[in-house]
Structure 1
Amino acid sequence: MAAGGMSLLSDDPLSYADAFKVYQKQLFYCTENYNEFITPAIGNIRNNQEPLRILSVGAGTGNYDCVIIDSLLETFTEIHETVIEPNDSHTAKFQDRVKSEMKGKPVQFDWRHEKVEEFLENHDLIKERFHYIHCIHSLYYCHDPVDIITKLHELLLEDGVLMIIHQSEKDDVRKIYTEVGKYLKNTENPCGDDMLKYLKSHGYLCTPKYFSYDIDISQCFDKKSKEGNLLLDFFTDVADFRNTAPRDLQESVMNMVKWSKLGDDRCHYFRDVVVRLLVRK
């Protein structure tokens, strides 16, 4: 529960899934370029006598995972992926995707319906180790992302790779989330650039790369637009933001929306800037 009668969107899996679907619908980027961004060359990092072992943190509906797996199957002959996803509706869609897109492919899945904090709660007792761990936009609502990164790195096999994709401090949506976080006195969520500084200062072998794309936010100006309101909920992580947030917070957020980029098509756009961190062991 957030302050002042507001509820966190991320605490309601079904509502979050609805808002996330609208967010994805409004993204504009070259799919080929983004697929290349999320499938970096990781080299031959395993013993050829065993499957490539992947840990997917916050896999969502699996659209990124399937792209990554298809890319890795060009190099590796067999894959075993452990999927951590607390949202049941997302997992169901991922499993449907597996049936249609992974049929007949040498891939096995182990489904874990839990948060990454729950998975790592007894991380010292986790016997399985992984060649490749990825967290794609999945560490935003964790209590202590830096602690999670540290523990995930410990689960890597020698020469393994941890990939994190997270909002940069230059990201327009991040700026709104930060503004709301100040109001809620929630300052625990670092941006991708903060994570990079932490990793480098603690001696991790880390390589960053940035990627940017546009989000059409025009519907946010229409108070009667269901999709516009869901976008605001997603940007702020506040359920029913227009009706539950205090007036001064609404005005602050809408001022940031008004300063968005106006395109040649007369639509308003936010610039999403993300950083990919590749951490090698």
Structure 2
Amino acid sequence: MAADKTETCYQECCVQNFQFYLEHSGEHQAMLQCVNSVLPAEFKRIGEGKSSLDFLGVGSGGGEMDVHMLTLLQSTFPGVPVTSDIVEGSVELTDNFRALVEKTPNLKTVPFGWHIMPSEDYVKQAKAKGDMKKFDFIHMIQMIYYVDDMAATIQFYHGLLKKNGRLMIIVEAGKGGWDTLWKTFKNDLCTHTITEYRSSGEVKACLDKLGLKYDEHRIHNEFDISQCFDQKSKLGHDLLNFMTAKDDFYTGFTPETQKAILDLFKNKCSTQKDGKTMFNGTLDAILVHA
């Protein structure tokens, strides 16, 4: 969830930190389970009677989720042409995505439009052109934390949906481990990368205010943070750095704040299982109707 909000988002060591987190947390696997159970029926509904389908990924990272979803879309409508536009601020992650596409034979027929820029810049460019491309399916996975104006961003992308289209927003669950951590220590954490933390609670409140209809699907996930409590553990140190969006947890906070965060991790954000401290990394997938 945490990332460095620079002009091009994930770069160099930040990409490595992000990949380390994904491998340790199992977050993508949890998302894929949800995608596999929810999207086939949604895609059938979205694409019924259409002669072509247009897909937009916003903040797609290295493309693992997009490649899977595009493959699922193709298998739902074999023979129907599909286009894909990708908005991603990181050059390095976009290169990873392109390499993944090259290794995926079924995507050879899909024309990709690569927009290597933050979401805000894509919005400005699209509005400046005037003639905005519309899409059948748009996803925003783990990126709503990094936009300045959540309501305006959602409103813009929702406005790009074609008939029966869906906008899928995946975000940390309200009252989950991340939500508890970032709201309890808002003054310490919301200082650079994320200035206003948002969970599914804020997203749903925004959608309700905008009068948009949506369905919600819970993505259960937990991961082992036991080594975070061992100051000599490199894995634990790396996890703490990522989860608090700091270069170095032990120099980025006072000893008192370090202790308070670790106490919160153990007592409010996690459960104890088989001698391990399992962090509640539950997410929500919100499917917004056109």
- Normalising by structure 2, what TM-score? 0.84
CA contact (8 A) 2:101 2:107 kept: no
Q: Is 1:111 aligned to residue 120 of structure 2? A: no
Residue among 251, 263, 286 paired with 1:277: 286
CA contact (8 A) 1:26 1:217 kept: no
Give the structure 1 partner of residue 33 of structure 2: 33
Give the structure 2 partner of residue 262 of structure 1: 272
Alignment of 1:111-190 (within 5 A): 111-124=114-127, 125-183=130-188, 188-190=196-198
Deviations 1:239-259 (A, max 9, x none): 222222233332221111232
Give the structure 1 partner of residue 20 of structure 2: 22
Aligned counterparts of 2:107 and 2:282: Cα–Cα separation in 1:
36
CA contact (8 A) 2:189 2:244 kept: no
Give the structure 2 partner of residue 206 of structure 1: 214
1:113 offset after TM fit, Å?
0.8
**Equivalent residue of 1:55, what SS?**
strand
1:177 offset after TM fit, Å?
2.3
Bigger RCO (CA 8 Å, 6+ sep): 1
1:100 offset after TM fit, Å?
0.9
CA contact (8 A) 1:177 1:237 kept: no
Identify the structure with the greater helix proportion. 2
1:133 offset after TM fit, Å?
0.5
**Equivalent residue of 2:153, what SS?**
helix
Aligned counterparts of 2:137 and 2:251: Cα–Cα separation in 1:
43
Aligned counterparts of 2:237 and 2:100: Cα–Cα separation in 1:
28
Give the structure 1 partner of residue 67 of structure 2: 66
5+ residue gaps, structure 1:
1-7
5+ residue gaps, structure 2:
none
Aligned counterparts of 1:37 and 1:203: Cα–Cα separation in 2:
27
User: CA 1:113/1:32 → structure 2, altered by over 3 Å: closer, same or farther?
Assistant: closer
Equivalent residue letter for 1:271: N
Aligned counterparts of 1:85 and 1:216: Cα–Cα separation in 2:
29
Alignment of 1:209-224 (within 5 A): 209-224=217-232
Of 30-39 and 20-29, the range deviating more from structure 2 = 30-39
CA contact (8 A) 1:9 1:233 kept: no
Give the structure 2 partner of residue 100 of structure 1: 103
Q: CA RMSD in A?
A: 2.4
Of 31-40 and 266-275, the range deviating more from structure 2 = 31-40
1:219 offset after TM fit, Å?
2.1
Of 9-18 and 72-81, the range deviating more from structure 2 = 9-18
Give the structure 2 partner of residue 5 of structure 1: none
Of 232-241 and 45-54, the range deviating more from structure 2 = 45-54
Equivalent residue letter for 2:218: Y
Aligned counterparts of 1:90 and 1:233: Cα–Cα separation in 2:
20
User: CA 1:272/1:122 → structure 2, altered by over 3 Å: closer, same or farther?
Assistant: same
Deviations 1:54-91 (A, max 9, x none): 11011011111111111111223221111111112211
Aligned counterparts of 1:261 and 1:184: Cα–Cα separation in 2:
23
CA contact (8 A) 1:53 1:131 kept: yes
